[in-house]
Structure 1
């Protein structure tokens, strides 16, 4: 029935000795090869075979050169390194993707000053290519001219550096709560770069980066847009578009657009001094904030213009503060974006003035020298002396003085 079984053949091959009595496990001069014939293969065909290799055949594998793939930024320098264990008295050679020989051993073959010899020994040939261009990208070949010729490939990838991004779409100024859209674009990246947005320290979520191939067929132009609503806190903020690309190696490449936001004014009233006292000079400063800043300030006291007071720009001036100045004052700050009214309550003898009466009493205590009272004239009648004492503020002091004298 059919041909001989494959299993006895496999056992036969596995049991055969090496030529010359060589130890297979130690000398390693054998190689086993499996052949996948599928489930429909005839039983008479071998499914495993043993191929004998001589020491000369194994030694020839040491003549196989090896290299590595390299990545370089456009304008940079790349080093191509080729090594071999057994050169078999032959020289190594580098050639470019167009199969033009660059170096054969230490001899230059292509007149290109960008290509320089780095190291040439029987076991190594290293060359450098400076000012690398996108056109230099491709597969470079290292060869050794043994029998047969052996080669190794090195794929050189050139990264295109993205240009500084450009922001468009900004108007001269924006109004508070207005929505705006900004666009950002950068060309020359390879592979395509990514764009990100931020406003101050806040990340903005723009549309996904759009990619378009440049006319040179090698690099790309990327673009993105972002839409957001502005507030008064955004006045003077920088909106930044940044390019992220491996060729930049973490370096920042970005463009910023400072935005101006117009908004209605706010105001507050600041007294100078902070705690006014009766008899002092007082200035009430109306401090307005807005974009544009308020151009006009209007003062009023409880609905009417303060009488006999002077105004200087945004300040209300009290040359000599007295109790009648107490009341609620209002300041209206106005710009072409609108108006804002601030209030301040002035209480000359109240808590806001920090106890004017107590200060007066303290002042009297600091001057303890008694006032001299004139000696009263000799009374003609008892009633006249009593009348003087009752009308004089020094009555008790003068009575005691006359008693001691």
Structure 2
């Protein structure tokens, strides 16, 4: 070490010893416990600052100051104009006969604690202490991942957050009317149904800010097919049978004529699928197309089916004509026998 280095080290050592001998920083005792009759110790109000902001530490000088320093616990930050702290965020703002002010930029939780301004004047030593409180906005640090579950499963969502003051945590189903919510880190969903699928929002809130993150839950369930609707088509015309199913994952469809499966292009038929809907398209209906058809929707959880009847207009006329004939015959019988019945 050079001579200059030895001198600087000796100076710092002597200054630290001087501060302790002046009872400004008694070894092993917090500054606020000093009670010497020849010293003037002042405790300032707490300073509350948000994480990332800048805090200014000020203390009055006055009289003829021989030594002055800002300390953090047992570490000296500044001794007069000499910076002892290696932290680049700490810097000197003002040092004159009236005021000694330093600042700490980009404050973090590690900066929270007690700070002491120690002053030795021509008449007596004194200290001014202040406690810095650091507020931290909430941050969600542990969150459940997106889930894919089968209907009927028990689901637990977890959301944990840090912050100061300690944040409150709540859950809600975004797509719900508000009947599914929780004011806790955990949200329990027993026997989940398809209606409970969707986006769940976790909110962590304190008086500083709010942090919000989401979890998506996909609920798998077996297909449910809508009831088939019979279709009447004239010979030579285009006809369509539509089969719609509700399922997650998206269902596959199979078509059958009687017990024989129909494939795309079978006898000039086309099968068109769009999401949860399948269509069986007849481009030129013939007598051989009039029959019963079955649509089956299936995924890995199960299947469901429904039946259709493709019929011609003659069947409609015959059916309606026969029905009208029966009703007409019944009316005629009533007209004949009504007078006889009235006599009794």
The two structures have a TM-score, normalised by structure 1, of 0.49
2:170 equivalent in structure 1: 196
SS class of match (2:222) = strand
From 181, 198, 209, the counterpart of 1:250: 209
Determine the C-alpha separation between the residues in 1 that align with 2:46 and 2:66: 21
Tell me how far apart the structure 1 counterparts of residues 297 and 107 of structure 2 sit (CA, whole Å). Answer: 64
Three-state SS of the structure 2 residue aligned to 1:87 is coil
Contact 1:92-1:125 within 8 A present in 2 as well: no
Larger fraction in strand: 2
Aligned residue for 2:304? 340
Q: 2:152 aligned with 1:177, yes or no? A: yes
Q: Secondary structure of 2:242's match?
A: strand
Distance 1:281 1:304 in 2: 22
Q: Are 2:132 and 1:156 aligned?
A: yes
Contact 2:219–2:248 (8 Å) recurs in 1: yes
| Residue 165 (structure 1) aligned with residue 165 (structure 2) | no
Secondary structure of the 1:252 match is strand
Deviation at 1:117, TM superposition (A): 1.1
| Residue 117 (structure 1) aligns with | 92
Pairs within 5 Å for 1:4-403: 68-73=45-50, 76-82=52-58, 84=60, 87-90=62-65, 93-105=68-80, 107-112=81-86, 113-145=88-120, 147-159=123-135, 164-168=140-144, 173-186=148-161, 189-202=163-176, 204-206=180-182, 208=184, 224-229=185-190, 230-235=192-197, 237-245=198-206, 249-252=208-211, 254=213, 256-268=214-226, 279-299=236-256, 310=269, 312=271, 314-321=278-285, 331-342=295-306
Distance of 2:77 and 2:245 partners within structure 1: 75
Instruction: Give the structure, 1 or 2, with the largest relative contact order (CA under 8 Å, sep 6 or more).
Output: 2
Q: Structure 1 residues 300 and 122 mapped into 2: Cα distance closer, same or farther (>3 Å)?
A: farther
Change (3 A) 1:117 1:348: farther
1:18 aligns to what? none
CA distance in 1, matches of 2:171, 2:79: 51
Is 2:72–2:115's contact at 8 Å kept on the other side of the alignment? yes
Query: Which deviations, in whole Å up to 9, do the C-alpha atoms of 1:175-221 show, x marking residues without a partner?
Result: 223322233344x645544332233344654474xxxxxxxxxxxxx
Q: 1:126 to 1:251 in 2, by over 3 A?
A: farther
Question: 1 CA distance for matches of 2:236 and 2:67?
Answer: 103
Deviation at 1:228, TM superposition (A): 0.7
> What is the rounded CA distance, in whole Å, between the counterparts of 2:144 and 2:105 in structure 1?
36
Aligned residue in 1 for 2:30: none
Q: CA distance change for structure 1 residues 91 and 155 in 2, over 3 Å: closer, same or farther?
A: farther
Report the structure number with the largest CA radius of gyration.
1
CA distance in 1, matches of 2:141, 2:227: 46
- Structure 2, unaligned runs of 5 or more: 1-39, 273-277, 317-344
Structure 1 residues 270 and 277: CA distance shift in structure 2, 3 A: farther
Distance 1:322-1:349 versus aligned 2 partners, 3 A rule: farther
Q: C-alpha separation between the residues in 1 aligned to 2:150 and 2:293?
A: 31
User: Deviation at 1:347?
Assistant: 7.6
The count of aligned residue pairs is 262
Q: C-alpha deviations, 1:146-200, integer Å up to 9, x for none? A: 5454443321123467664323598x642223322233344x6455443322333
| TM-score, with length taken from structure 2 | 0.56
Q: 1:305 to 1:185 in 2, by over 3 A?
A: closer
The Cα shift of 1:227 comes to 0.8
Q: SS of 1:142's equivalent?
A: strand
- Tell me, in whole angstroms, the C-alpha distance in 1 between the residues paired with 2:233 and 2:50: 71
How far did residue 263 of structure 1 move? Answer: 0.8
Measured at CA, do residues 311 and 77 of structure 1 come closer, stay the same or move farther in structure 2, by a change above 3 Å? closer
Q: Which residue of 1 aligns with 2:7?
A: none
Structure 2 match to 1:216 = none
